[in-house]
Chains A and B, each alone.
Chain A
């Protein structure tokens, strides 16, 4: 599904050169749930931005779903983001002017679905995250956990094959965080590949694999033993 070879990324200012990623190699198979961990400044977010085609790598090769995305133009990358990738951000990134329904509708609009198809997908996604009754609420009228569930509904409404989550529980209390992680697990079991970026090792344990990034390099690839269904998870 995701194949990164020798990926590097350098941020330059007039005075400083920061190597965010150095020779990063990573492969994620279809249907996997991978956690990427590491301390602040280790390059997790840069990895996520490159994986999600929000930024370009300076070196190396990146194939996503069999397509060499390194050479694609801006519009083609936007199209792939829209059709194949779902994003979940730590800060939810809902559009404050739009109600729940219209927020979930955003990627579907750019996908060109007909109105009836969009409505069906939005209702299905909101049903899945338990917010079917809140369609006309604005983000400011929802709790943090509810907002993150809207963001998840937005990410999955287009049925992407690949979900990227950046600290999805970072702004939530422990109970909410657990619900969100349960939801992500459920989405993964339905066949969606998930890459979760977190600095929390306990959350990372919910994934099939843990990839530890340090100073822009993968330092550890650690498979986890499958957790029994319903087992309690400690969250931050």
Chain B
């Protein structure tokens, strides 16, 4: 009967095009607003590395001032980054399957051939960065242990940087001049933009991934200045990078790959032991507060999805509810306006259930058409968000999940709006209408 009901629904909608357009418009408007906010929310709250998120752990130690917490609003939280020397010590000693220490810097690339030099953001990281975060390569790969120790100057280019320097060709083994030195290209990434940028939230959760990746050790050897957040509590003289390396400032991110709960426990114990030892040496005056966060906990802890985003989503759904209420009124007038035809159907043998289903299919069809309209409006809304907030461009991409969700939501909205009118019409007493038809 579904095909029959669809045919009846189409005929019914075509009979009153103005009311049909109003109903579709109302639901489409609600779906458009909901799709826009839901898409941004969906992208904001997405797990950027679902296959590995439970084994990757951000490592934090409370090395902050004895007089005040690192975050006055959340005094129980340790600072989100580590000092240079703690990062090196923990990475070298703590028991983990893999560990990465890293920071952000800025460098200048000279493309040669008379082209103008340009600035890039680069990530200085130990080589486990790539396998730990499942970074995809288009060509080549990361670097070896020798490069990690500060040997050969190598670089991994992002797809965009490789495109800019080498026209997208396989550039592995070729040389790039960065900050006045030659670096050998060991690999070129495929498209990789983890959203949110979980591995370093210090410069914005929706910041883009870096343009190039170099061995962490080169940062100290070449005295590359930090380009990320550097937070200090101790009055210290910081004349240059050398001073920063030995300071109590926090500016290094550390992640550990801990596949099992036992690994996490072992790592935590080591970390607590390390802090106890440092306390004996006169550091870490605050109570021991060392925490490991897996990726999802880390995103929650850093409030990547803010309260305002949740409020906006709630407002969008409230708006959709208002649209649905308006459609309920329109459907009631429409269904009761055609009560005569329903009475004829009842007289000819249609059960209440059959009439109910017939009308629900009609509102479902309204919902589906409105869903398509809502997608167009939602897409326009996302484009507007993109224009207003350029840093949100990766949060405004409609994916298949959101397309299906929008259409599903629209059909559900239509059916919800139609439940009461369909119930009313299926209770029509045929005798009351047949004489007056």
Asked whether, in the complex, the Cβ of B349 is within 8 Å of the Cβ of A97, the reply is no
A89 at the interface (CB under 8 A from B): yes
Asked whether, in the complex, the Cβ of B431 is within 8 Å of the Cβ of A89, the reply is no
Asked whether, in the complex, the Cβ of B352 is within 8 Å of the Cβ of A106, the reply is no
CB distance from A136 to the nearest CB of B (A): 14
Asked whether, in the complex, the Cβ of B346 is within 8 Å of the Cβ of A78, the reply is yes
Interface size on B, residues (CB 8 A): 26
Asked whether, in the complex, the Cβ of B349 is within 8 Å of the Cβ of A82, the reply is yes
- Select A93's contact among B4, B12, B434, beta carbons within 8 Å: B434
Within 8 A of A (CB), among B1-32: 1, 4, 8, 11-12, 15
Interface size on A, residues (CB 8 A): 30
B430 at the interface (CB under 8 A from A): yes
- Enumerate chain A residues within 8 angstroms of B353, measured Cβ to Cβ: 75
Asked whether, in the complex, the Cβ of A81 is within 8 Å of the Cβ of B341, the reply is no
Asked whether, in the complex, the Cβ of B437 is within 8 Å of the Cβ of A107, the reply is no
- Knowing A93-B437, A97-B15, say if A110 contacts B348 (CB, 8 Å): yes
Asked whether, in the complex, the Cβ of A98 is within 8 Å of the Cβ of B11, the reply is yes
Within 8 A of B (CB), among A137-176: 154, 166
* CA distance in complex: A78, B348 (Å): 8
* CA distance in complex: A154, B347 (Å): 12
- Select B351's contact among A52, A75, A107, beta carbons within 8 Å: A75
* CA distance in complex: A134, B341 (Å): 21
Asked whether, in the complex, the Cβ of A49 is within 8 Å of the Cβ of B349, the reply is no
Asked whether, in the complex, the Cβ of A54 is within 8 Å of the Cβ of B434, the reply is yes
Asked whether, in the complex, the Cβ of B352 is within 8 Å of the Cβ of A87, the reply is no
Asked whether, in the complex, the Cβ of A78 is within 8 Å of the Cβ of B437, the reply is no
- Enumerate chain B residues within 8 angstroms of A94, measured Cβ to Cβ: 344
Within 8 A of B (CB), among A192-230: none
- Enumerate chain B residues within 8 angstroms of A67, measured Cβ to Cβ: none
- Enumerate chain A residues within 8 angstroms of B434, measured Cβ to Cβ: 54, 87, 89, 91, 93
- Enumerate chain B residues within 8 angstroms of A189, measured Cβ to Cβ: none
Asked whether, in the complex, the Cβ of A78 is within 8 Å of the Cβ of B349, the reply is yes
Asked whether, in the complex, the Cβ of A91 is within 8 Å of the Cβ of B12, the reply is no
Which 7 residue pairs spanning A and B have beta carbons closest together?
A82-B349, A107-B348, A54-B431, A110-B349, A97-B11, A49-B431, A78-B351
Q: Which of B's residues lie within 8 Å of A, judged by CB?
A: 1, 4, 8, 11-12, 15, 340-341, 344-354, 429-431, 434-437
Q: Which of A's residues lie within 8 Å of B, judged by CB?
A: 45, 49, 52, 54-55, 74-75, 78-79, 81-83, 87, 89-98, 106-107, 109-111, 154, 166
Instruction: Please name 5 pairs of A and B residues whose Cβ atoms are closer than 8 Å in the assembled complex, sorted by A.
Output: A45-B435, A54-B429, A93-B347, A93-B437, A95-B344
